[in-house]
Amino acid sequence: MAPRMTALAAVLASGWMTASHAQTTLPEVEVRALSAESREITAETLQRTQARDMAEVFATESSVSVGGGGRNAQRIYLRGMEGSNLNISIDGASQGRNLHQHRGGVGGIDPDLLKRVDIQAGPGADRGPGALGGSIRFETVDAQDLLDPQRRAGVRLKAGYASADEAWRGATTVYGLLGEGMGLLGHVSAQNAEDYRIGGGDDAPNTAGRDRDYFLKFSLLEQAGHSLRLSTERNTNRGLYLWGSTGSDMGYAPEGSVPVYQESERNTHVLNHSYRSADTPWIDWRFNLYRNEDSLKNVTTDTEMRGEKTGGELRNTFSFGLGPTRHWLTVGMDWFSEDLTGLDFRSVKQTTTSRNRALFIQDRIAFGPLLVSVGARHDDFDAEYGPRSVSGSEVSPNAGVELDLGRGVTAFAGYGEAVRGSGLIPASWMTNITESTNFNDGNPFEPERSRQREGGLRYAGGDLLRAGDQVNLELTLFRSYLYDTIERVGGGGGQVSAIRNNPDTLISTGWDLRAGWRLGAYGTRLAYSRVNSENQHGDPVAISRRRNAPTGDRLVWDNQWRVADGLTLGYTLTAVKRLSRVPAGQIERPGYALHDLQAAWQPAAVRGLSLALAIRNLGDKRYSSQTSVAAGTDNIVHEPGRDVRLSASYRF
């Protein structure tokens, strides 16, 4: 049994901000779960806010910003670092590289399928390949998560409407037990949306789309220590969008632009097996195997790009005592192989391949009030850049410490490095690299690297303001470096003239402040994030595709109140400060404040029925995300205006 962690770490690990946890006793958790910057978005939050896309999944997380406007143009930024520099996975399946501009990453997943979203911004050897800026892990539900007690099968029917884009949504989920501990879940959802209305009127062109999600999952849980999960998912999006440049992922399209019909599709197949021995603490292992297939088709021009990524991970955690210390030693390996295929500027089919193989070790040690984490990761990589290839191997160390200062106060600090050889150039440009391309001015390519430092204080306690309340506070200061990114030089279509290691280092410095308070049926969370993005000379930087984006200070205040049995109310304030520190020639980005309301009701007279109302952007604010790419200076796509959402679900 692991020793008791500090109070705040225990509270965070227990997920106490969900409505179903109102107890005041802090549970015991394992030291191997220690992470100073690990945060979780729960299914309850996603359901209450009626999230439908990536921007809305992260709406309550201040350190994550999603820009772009329409779903097909959204980009994720964590502490200023763009999603291309994160290890983003679904049930352990690491997602593929961008296919065209930004398309092809984790652009689509039905939030109704999510059990939780785990955000890890800090360093760690066991967070997967390419985690230069951290990781985001999506975990889907099992049939056992949805089943009512004493029932062996169930069905959930759901329908909804959103006013901003006149979207209609429907979903059917079927789940049940096939035997002892053996579950099966099937899910189908569809959504048809028109161009959304921005604040104050007018529509954002080329944002309409048709989304479909098909999901099947088998889960065999806790059978003599074994758990096995097999899942397959197909997520598709179809619509009329611009193919490139202005109007596709930056700014409004010029007058006379003609959109083309596009189809994007993601197929993810995953096997997860874990085993934890009841007889020995030396065996606690997990095995993951996956295949991720992405495609983006320009139906109008009959052009298609594909990404196929196969990989896996095997790890075991050894739990043992050594003198006065307790250890949770994780040893493992992970690997992937990714093929990117498309037609080059001569309409010739081209395929490029990148591979990564890694060994990692992470020891988490408890010694009285002191918790220490130390580890290293060895990555061996090779990547093709057209007719050339880059290969090498690197070791990335990390270390962290947490000290219980007493009275619920904890101090923590950490340092870590990460490396990647596969680069961030999208598939559509990779196919256009030829022998005549300038390869880094004749110099050998360096792998992409990052360094991260963080430290801070936490407090967790109870009975502070009122008898029976729970309180937590956390302040984290961080500094992250991203350098040697491998990029295409210049823009436009056709043959790539040059690729290089970018000589500029991007530095993200800032802090996160978080506070939470719960008493009985009421809970409130306040999160404030400041990120300052600059280069190695101390100059402010503009948005850099697939690398970094500056943002103004972000505050998110989220409230939930269970008024009575079956009735829950919520309110979320999002306030973003004006971004005034910008490079010469760039416009300042205006700040904005948004107010969202939520209500959910389960009428006692109709068992299994749930009705929900959400009003997003209550004041119909006209605004743009500060991480949306501009075309020119002030041509930036606006986000949706007031959006009234109604949904009904029925379980039987």
- Within 10 angstroms of residue 369's Cβ, the number of other Cβ atoms is 13
Structure tokens belonging to residue 210: 């048709």
Contact call for residues 563 and 522 (beta carbons, < 8 A): no
pLDDT at residue number 256: 87
Residues belonging to the chain: 652
pLDDT 10s digits, 330-350: 999 999 999 999 888 888 889
List, run by run, the mean pLDDT of 10-residue segments along the chain (652 residues).
35 32 30 53 94 92 90 88 92 89 73 94 84 94 93 96 97 96 97 96 94 98 96 96 85 90 95 95 96 94 93 97 96 96 86 95 96 96 89 95 96 96 85 91 93 96 92 96 90 84 94 96 96 94 87 95 95 97 90 98 95 98 93 90 98 94
Token code pair at residue 563: 């008024």
The label of the residue with tokens 């009127």 reads 201
Q: Are 353 and 164 in contact (CB under 8 A)?
A: no
Model pLDDT, residue 431: 87
Give tens-digit pLDDT for 560-576.
999 999 999 999 999 99
* Residue entry with tokens 């227990």: 14
User: What is the DSSP-derived secondary structure letter of residue 49?
Assistant: H
pLDDT of amino acid 68: 86
- Residue 143: per-residue pLDDT: 97
Residue 431, SS3 per DSSP:
coil
* Residue 227, pLDDT score: 97
d(CA 387, CA 364): 43
Contact 487, 499 (CB under 8 A): yes
What is the predicted pLDDT for the residue at 574? 98
With residues binned 3-state (H G I as helix, E B as strand, rest as coil), the percentages for the chain, rounded to 5, are: 5, 55, 35
- How many C-beta atoms lie closer than 10 Å to residue 53's C-beta? 21
pLDDT for the residue 154: 96
Distance CA 202, CA 212 (A): 27
Which of 388-402 are b and which e, b meaning 16 or more Cβ less than 10 Å from the residue's Cβ? eebeeebebebebbb
Q: Report phi then psi at 428, rounded to 5.
A: -65, -30
| The predicted structure's pLDDT at residue 37 | 55
DSSP 386: T
CA distance linking residue 461 with residue 11, whole number of Å = 9
